[in-house]
Amino acid sequence: MTPQEFSNATSPPRPHPGFFLVFEGPDGGGKSTQAAHVTAWLREQGFDVVACRDPGGTSLGERLRSVVLADESVHPTMRAEMLLYMASRAQLVDEVVQPSLKAGRIVICDRFLLSNIVYQGVAGGLSVDEVAKVGIVATGGLLPDLTLVLDVPSDVARERTGPGRDRIEKRPPEYQARVREGFLAAARARPESLRAYVGRIVLIDGREGAEAVFDRIRKEVEDALALGPRP
């Protein structure tokens, strides 16, 4: 199937002719590396791919990212932190994601709404339902067509990341454990509290080497885009 055929063959029932792929999971799982790998691979196949990160991806989003992750002089509450992420995401959706999807492009994003549901909701103590509702407003109802959750045990994640590099990574091990469990629950069972998150979520074991993980991811993406062998 060619990139040109992809748009017509895979658009229903999505409300846009593009495809929205999101990488999620605890820090240290390799999502950023794999997102870049998949972006390069799909471009080699001839697809028009837009890569972005959340928070960030726009001038406003990058400023908000700096505040919420790097600025040690401010101390947002968990609710304020969640809303800062949502503001960055609203700008990203309006400025980058929606226009790209409407143009038939593939959008690959490093994190999206599920991160807030897990980090500030499941692990941070906010109501998951409230976080999801705010998220739907922030995204205008847009959710990923496919979410890949890259998981590794907490000890492996710590070995990979080393000392915490930002405000979130510096939180205690108990918080990080709740983060991992939140992602696992979302991928394995889709609890009732995540009913608003309707896109497909696939759990990927990130403990293997980067190439082995990419092979698994590539199969999922090929299936989602109908790129496999055709009869």
The answer as to whether 43 is a domain residue is yes
Find the mean pLDDT for residues 212-229.
88
Lowest mean pLDDT among 12-21, 30-39, 140-149: 12-21
The answer to whether residue 180 sits within a structural domain is yes
Which residues carry a binding-site annotation for ATP? 25-32
**Residue 129 belongs to a domain:** yes
* Within-domain flag for 178: yes
Whether 63 is in a domain gets the answer yes
Question: Has this prediction a pTM greater than 0.85?
Answer: yes
Per the domain annotation, does 230 fall within a domain? no
Angle formed at CA 43 by CA 55 and CA 138, multiple of 5 degrees: 25
Q: What are phi and psi of 202, to 5 degrees?
A: -120, 130
CA distance 15 to 18: 9
- Structural domain range at position 194: 3-225
Cβ–Cβ under 8 Å, residues 201 and 25: no
Task: Give CA–CA dist 164/206, Å, rounded.
Answer: 20
Helix or strand (DSSP H, E) at 86? helix 78-92
Read off the pLDDT band of 159 (50, 70, 90). confident
The two beta strands, 49-53 and 19-24, are unpaired
> How many structural domains does the chain have?
1
Report if residue 231 sits inside a domain: no
Return the CATH number at 25: 3.40.50.300
Annotated binding site: 25-32
